[in-house]
Structure 1
Amino acid sequence: MAGHSKWKNIQRRKNAQDAKRGKIFMKLAKDIYVAAKQGGGDQEMNPALRTAVDKAKANNMPNENIDRAIKKATGDLDGANYEELTYEGYGPGGIAVMVEVLTDNKNRTASELRHAFSKNGGNLGENGCVAFMFDRKGYIAIDQNQTDADEDDMMLEAIEAGAEEMETTDGAYEIYTDPDQFTDVRSNLEESGFILDTAEVTMMPQTFSSIEDQDKSKMIKLVNMIEDMEDVQEVYHNLDADEETMAQL
């Protein structure tokens, strides 16, 4: 994954989030809702909920919003019933795209996604059409400015914490884990005093694909259109893009 720093892409996305904060809070609330619905409202007993809450707090989501989402899931408040789904398809130039959604109306969501794909030179596919091109991984990034550890020390710390792999990129140590071990690795690093800039379970492409410039423009529009949808939580793709293109995604 060298040359495809997820940390850099996350930083760019964070810089553009203020204009979309309302939508971001809605997506985070849905994520908390599903985690609490599936595993209960106790963060100590529900690692998925703790991860969702940590992500919400990192985005400055108010505590009352977090509590409301948990209470809706546990039945203490009335609310919509959300379903967690993954859609797959191909973007312009055959780029593999996976979209994770939380929706209370999957017919509406499928229709909106189908429109976005067709409008931007892609097509929504069947389940499984591109999933084999991605691996689910735990991902942790530590800003090098937030630690005194050099690369060798950080590598040892990551291994001792239970990580599978670590890469040093421009500005960050990027650590990858088995998704089942993610919570333990994160806790071990936090207990060792490290400040985690990013910590999440995500989908990593096994390989990256290049496309023509005209298709890159369509791909940018497709990803941005999908991310603006209220039901969409995450968008993953395997586009091999330069710095300028990634800054627009």
Structure 2
Amino acid sequence: MSGHSKWNNIKRKKEAADGAKAKVFTRIGREISVCVKEGGPDPASNSKLKDLISKAKANNVPNDNIDRIIKKAAGEGDKNNYETMVYEGYGPGGVAVIVECLTDNKNRTAGDVRHYFDKFGGNMGTTGCVSFMFTRKGIIILENEGCDEDKLMEDCFEAGADDFNVDGESIEVSTDPNSVYAISDKLREMGYSVISAEDSMVPSTYTTLSDEEQIRHMNLLLEALDDNDDVQQVYHNWDMPQEDSED
């Protein structure tokens, strides 16, 4: 289970770096906007939109916000045209980094991401240079409300999850990435409090940094990427020191 707890630490750090809920809302809103333009505003006929609505709810986006984004994207007034771009590279000390973006100007975004890698002691590579070190999984975080682990295991497997790990005040549930939001909905219906649910890239190996300057630069790289409006998700395999992974 050590890999699970390391991933949970990384996820907690990333969530802390995300900061204000408004930033999370904006990123999910951009995903919904693109999805509506590609497949229409009806979740009954647009299965990806249905999943994104579940994702938004799992991340506590208000229903009014979701409805407003869908209506705006379906109307003629929204002229934004975003495309998905994925960049891979190495941070300080060889930490593997994947950056997922939605952008209306891929030249600008590529230049920004490359600049961050260069500035903080890393280098942006080619497609596939680090993604082989990650496995795509669905990750659901539940509140640990003192539930019985036998009952939890029964409920998780009944909902379709692959595995779970109890870690202090939270429970991490891993799933097939294509089913994460449906399983999140089922667990919520069973009475569990869902903190977040996402389709994630989980590292198979981890890199430890011992040099203080590399640690500082790695934190600055993650902060710079997080502050860029085009960046949707950042995945990495840095095995963070415990004191750096606390909320």
TM-score bin, normalised by smaller chain: 0.7 to 0.9
Q: Where do residues 1-249 of structure 1 align in structure 2 (5 Å cutoff)?
A: 1-6=3-8, 9-10=11-12, 13=15, 17-18=19-20, 21=22, 23-57=23-57, 61=61, 65-145=65-145, 149-213=147-211, 214-247=213-246
Tell me how far apart the structure 2 counterparts of residues 219 and 15 of structure 1 sit (CA, whole Å). Answer: 13
CA distance change for structure 1 residues 247 and 117 in 2, over 3 Å: closer, same or farther?
Answer: farther
Question: What is the CA-CA distance between 1:45 and the residue it aligns to?
Answer: 4.0
Q: What are structure 1's unaligned runs of at least 5 residues?
A: none
Question: What is the CA-CA distance between 1:201 and the residue it aligns to?
Answer: 1.1
Amino acid in structure 1 at the alignment position of 2:159: A
Please give the per-residue CA displacement for 1:86-127, whole angstroms capped at 9, x wherever unaligned. 111110011000001000000000000111000000011111
**Count of matched residue pairs:** 244
Range moving further from structure 2, 182-191 or 159-168: 182-191
Task: State whether residues 84 and 102 of structure 2, in contact with CA within 8 Å, keep that contact through their aligned partners in structure 1.
Answer: yes
Task: State whether residues 165 and 177 of structure 1, in contact with CA within 8 Å, keep that contact through their aligned partners in structure 2.
Answer: yes
CA distance change for structure 1 residues 11 and 217 in 2, over 3 Å: closer, same or farther?
Answer: closer
Question: What is the CA-CA distance between 1:70 and the residue it aligns to?
Answer: 2.0
Tell me how far apart the structure 2 counterparts of residues 125 and 113 of structure 1 sit (CA, whole Å). Answer: 11
Answer 1 or 2: higher relative contact order, Cα 8 Å, separation at least 6.
2
Amino acid in structure 2 at the alignment position of 1:156: E
Tell me how far apart the structure 2 counterparts of residues 8 and 215 of structure 1 sit (CA, whole Å). Answer: 17
Tell me how far apart the structure 1 counterparts of residues 170 and 65 of structure 2 sit (CA, whole Å). Answer: 31
Tell me how far apart the structure 1 counterparts of residues 202 and 37 of structure 2 sit (CA, whole Å). Answer: 26
C-alpha RMSD over aligned residues? 2.5
Corresponding residue SS for 1:102: strand
Corresponding residue SS for 2:245: helix
Question: What is the CA-CA distance between 1:225 and the residue it aligns to?
Answer: 0.5
Tell me how far apart the structure 2 counterparts of residues 83 and 117 of structure 1 sit (CA, whole Å). Answer: 22
Question: What is the CA-CA distance between 1:27 and the residue it aligns to?
Answer: 2.1
Identity of aligned residues (%): 43
| TM-score between the two structures when normalised by the length of structure 1 | 0.86
Question: What is the CA-CA distance between 1:173 and the residue it aligns to?
Answer: 1.6
| TM-score between the two structures when normalised by the length of structure 2 | 0.87
Corresponding residue SS for 2:126: coil
Task: State whether residues 140 and 184 of structure 2, in contact with CA within 8 Å, keep that contact through their aligned partners in structure 1.
Answer: yes
